[in-house]
Chain A
Amino acid sequence: MTFAALTAPVQFSREQVAIALSHSELGAGHIGIAFHSAKQGPHVLHLAWHMCTRLEQVPDQLLVEWMAEPLAVPPTASKHIVAVVRSVASRGAKINYGLNFIAAKGSFQPNGSYKPPRGSDGLTCASFVVEVLRAASINLLDLATWRPGIQNEQWANAVCAHLERSASADHVVAVKSSINGLRLRPVEVAGGAQLGVKGWPASFDCVQEPAARVAMALDTICSKQPKDGFRAATAASAT
């Protein structure tokens, strides 16, 4: 399957979850998990910003354009994953926005509790999706293989600049101290998902090619409306 615009009617069934992406002001996309709620149709669950987990109904509550692709897992397991994601979505966890995805492993629990281990400064939209799926026993990525890059430090500094407007000073200090050139890009999570069950957990090298294709699809399918959506998210978290 390939990515398609996330509009009604959606292209995934009630028994599937989908990886959903939109553009982001910070580059490399923004990611969430799409699923059908029990009675109110399709939704997208995503960590929009610091302490701001959003559950948006498709299409009426979407702040930006999204695309989505069903997560290719065995069909019986897929139903159970939907059940777990529904439960996660209903609990409205308050999650710090932070960069150290290695230390964040296992920080999110499906009963809605968020317990960052020592050294974890929080999650990004990408590591949030990875951790929600990990909580449902879906191990998408081998994060130990991730490699740093200079462009990631620029991204991290941009994140910190935005956090200074909406997070506590202590949290900003913690996030700044986590900057190490590592970044889990949303398109990498989506690319890793596309590799399918035989490719999981996917290494850094294995996801780069599908990640590039996902980025191209995002440019083709979704118009760039990251600023309005991002400002809406940061405004929401600042209130």
Chain B
Amino acid sequence: MRLSQWHDAQIVARVASPGGEEAQYEQEAALDQIGHVRGPESDQRYSLDFLMGTFSSPAEWAMESSLQALRQIASHGRWNRRVVNCRLGADVDELSVTVAAALDHIAEYGPESFGLPRLMNSEVQPEHLAAVLRATSTWRDEIPGWHAALERAAHALAKEGIDPQDALFGMI
């Protein structure tokens, strides 16, 4: 992520993924006050945690906290938007990109941050969801909503004419 502009009360950050895609997020931050971050797609409001003593000024740690939150949102988005893109192909190379993004997120932020419950109200690309579930099955009891997502995947696969006993082999 790199900071591209800084106005008086606005942070504009561009996030580049390894595949070259870029996303832009804007965050209003009052430099002398505790701020919040809003997710660009969900508009979900996230509070910020501050590490006292790490920074020399409130503005500095507000800035860093915003960036950390935005990085985590961006990381989540890299796999999530592929799982909810019903037009995305399911060849092994596309699936590999999704799996890598999911595992990158867990490596950086841990399984508790994986955010599967948000998929429950979205259309999903069933094979990409199945691949993510397989890749994250090690943490099935730590990822919130993993088991519900597995049921969701089974229904979505069947709806697409894909045998769940095949795609979810070993998990059901």
Chain B neighbourhood of A110, CB < 8 A: 103, 135-136, 138
The verdict on A9 contacting chain B, using a C-beta distance below 8 Å, is no
Residue in contact with B92 in the complex, picked from A14, A73, A112, CB distance below 8 Å: A14
Write the A5-44 contact mask toward B (1 if CB under 8 angstroms, else 0): 0000000001100000000000000000000101000000
- Is A77 in contact with B100, judged by CB distance below 8 angstroms? no
- Is B107 in contact with A136, judged by CB distance below 8 angstroms? no
> What's the nearest-Cβ distance from chain A to residue B98, in Å?
7
The verdict on A197 contacting chain B, using a C-beta distance below 8 Å, is yes
Interface SS, B side? helix
A105 to B99, CA, bound (A): 22
Interface residues on A, range: 20 to 34
Residue in contact with B99 in the complex, picked from A15, A75, A87, A197, CB distance below 8 Å: A87
Write the B79-100 contact mask toward A (1 if CB under 8 angstroms, else 0): 0000000000011110110111
A135 to B135, CA, bound (A): 7
A214 to B167, CA, bound (A): 29
Chain B neighbourhood of A139, CB < 8 A: 170
Write the A130-154 contact mask toward B (1 if CB under 8 angstroms, else 0): 0000011111000000000000000
Kindly specify which of B59-67, B68-76, B126-134 makes contact with the partner chain: B126-134
Residue in contact with A137 in the complex, picked from B99, B107, B171, CB distance below 8 Å: B171
Closest B residue by C-beta to A113: B107
A138 to B104, CA, bound (A): 21
Please report which residues of chain A, range 63-95, place their CB below 8 angstroms from some CB of chain B when the two chains form the complex.
73-77, 79-84, 86-87, 90
Chain A neighbourhood of B43, CB < 8 A: none
The verdict on B151 contacting chain A, using a C-beta distance below 8 Å, is no
Write the A200-222 contact mask toward B (1 if CB under 8 angstroms, else 0): 00000000000000000000000
> What's the nearest-Cβ distance from chain B to residue A114, in Å?
12
Residue in contact with B96 in the complex, picked from A73, A86, A113, A197, CB distance below 8 Å: A86
Chain A neighbourhood of B92, CB < 8 A: 14-15, 36, 79, 82-83
Chain A neighbourhood of B99, CB < 8 A: 80, 83-84, 86-87
Chain B neighbourhood of A76, CB < 8 A: 127, 130, 162-163, 166-167
The verdict on A225 contacting chain B, using a C-beta distance below 8 Å, is no
Write the B87-123 contact mask toward A (1 if CB under 8 angstroms, else 0): 0001111011011100110110000000000000000
A75 to B171, CA, bound (A): 15
Closest B residue by C-beta to A197: B169
A36 to B95, CA, bound (A): 14
A90 to B136, CA, bound (A): 16
The verdict on A237 contacting chain B, using a C-beta distance below 8 Å, is no
- Is A112 in contact with B135, judged by CB distance below 8 angstroms? no
Residue in contact with B166 in the complex, picked from A74, A82, A84, A90, CB distance below 8 Å: A74
Closest A residue by C-beta to B172: A137
Chain B neighbourhood of A197, CB < 8 A: 169
The verdict on B10 contacting chain A, using a C-beta distance below 8 Å, is no
Chain A neighbourhood of B24, CB < 8 A: none
The verdict on B27 contacting chain A, using a C-beta distance below 8 Å, is no
- Is B96 in contact with A38, judged by CB distance below 8 angstroms? yes
The verdict on A111 contacting chain B, using a C-beta distance below 8 Å, is yes
- Is B170 in contact with A137, judged by CB distance below 8 angstroms? yes
Q: Mark A residues whose CB is within 8 Å of B.
A: 14-15, 36, 38, 73-77, 79-84, 86-87, 90, 106, 109-113, 135-139, 197
Q: Mark B residues whose CB is within 8 Å of A.
A: 90-93, 95-96, 98-100, 103-104, 106-107, 127, 130-131, 134-139, 162-163, 165-171
Given contacts A77-B134, A77-B169, A83-B95, 13 further A-B contacts (CB under 8 A): A74-B165, A76-B163, A76-B167, A79-B92, A80-B135, A82-B95, A84-B131, A87-B100, A110-B135, A110-B138, A111-B104, A137-B134, A137-B171
Give 14 A-B contacts (CB < 8 Å), ordered by A residue.
A73-B169, A76-B127, A76-B162, A79-B90, A80-B127, A80-B131, A80-B134, A83-B92, A87-B99, A87-B103, A110-B138, A111-B103, A135-B137, A137-B169
